[in-house]
Amino acid sequence: MTMAINWRIEIFDTLESTQKFIKDRAASGEAEGLVVQAREQSGGKGRYGREWVSPKGNLYLSILLKPECAASEAAQFSFVAALAVSAAIDEYIKDRSLKFLKWPNDVFLDGKKCAGILLETELDKKGNVEWLVLGVGVNIVSAPDIGVAVQDYADKGIDLEGFRDNLLKQLSFYKTKEFQEIRALWLERAHEPGTKLQIKLGESVEAGYFHDIDENGNLLLRIDGGDIQMITAGDVYVIGS
Ligand code: BTN
């Protein structure tokens, strides 16, 4: 996680999905640092194959990285990306109490999601990361009913390209840091320890209280009785404190 990156930004009016586009380029041997932006997406993808509604005016980016790490370390990059998005939002919204990060990588504003991150990897034969794509969607001017737009809370008008460039600058900054530090910075911005969470994965539902994240970014949940349960994946709902 050390070298500075020269981002190469390609912008399209419409793509089905920047994620799909960049993964095709990665599979053809594209070098690290490609950033693909679409002004709108006709088939934007969220986590777990969900739709990411992508009208004009919001930010849709996919970013290609080649971090030379083990598969188990790849998830760390979604925390790096969440921090970068959150820091980019800081320029427009100063009130820290409005903002929090939700495990593993959602950015919340006033209790609703304003940005999501989709991390996808390709592994080599040894099980190491060959390439990694960070898909970032930020609701800048509009959002579906379950979300919010950053502009609605901002102190000034948001310029999409300015926001993107700052986000990439923040990403360059955070990606040089060891995960130990990323973890601490993420925790500073995350839901408070003790926040009641519900985690859904397929048919299974776990409930408990946010305790911590471990050295790989797994969620540590304190369940009734005091035991700590490690959660590696799932949809998290904040129930309260
Ligand atoms: C989530 O479900 O929270 C992740 C949403 C990720 C959306 C972004 S928008 C840019 C990139 N292209 C896609 O199709 N998805 C990601």
Q: How far apart are CA 191 and CA 33, in angstroms?
A: 31
Of 105, 118, 164, the one to substitute when testing ligand 1's pocket (max ligand atoms within 8 A of C-beta) is: 118
Of 41, 45, 236, the one to substitute when testing ligand 1's pocket (max ligand atoms within 8 A of C-beta) is: 45
pLDDT tens, residue by residue, 110-137:
999 999 999 999 999 988 999 999 999 9
- For residue 26, give every residue at least 6 positions away whose Cβ sits within 8 Å of its Cβ, in sequence order, or none: 34, 64, 122, 131, 133
Query: What mean pLDDT do residues 75-86 have?
Result: 96
pLDDT reading at 162 higher than 60: yes
Q: Give residue 9's pLDDT.
A: 98
Domain 8-189 matches domain 196-238 at the CATH topology level:
no
Q: Give residue 203's pLDDT.
A: 85
Question: Which CATH number, 3.90.230.10, 3.30.930.10, 3.90.1170.50, 3.90.1150.10, labels domain 8-189?
Answer: 3.30.930.10
| CATH architecture for segment(s) 196-238 | Roll (2.30)
Phi, psi (rounded to 5 degrees) for 7: -70, 135
Domain ranges of the chain: 8-189, 196-238
CA angle 188, 159, 67 (to 5 degrees): 50
Q: Give residue 1's pLDDT.
A: 46
* Residues contacting ligand 1 via CB (< 6 Å): 17-19, 41, 44-47, 50, 52, 60-62, 106, 116-118, 135-137
How sure is the predictor about 180, in pLDDT bands with cuts at 50, 70 and 90? very high
Q: Give residue 204's pLDDT.
A: 87
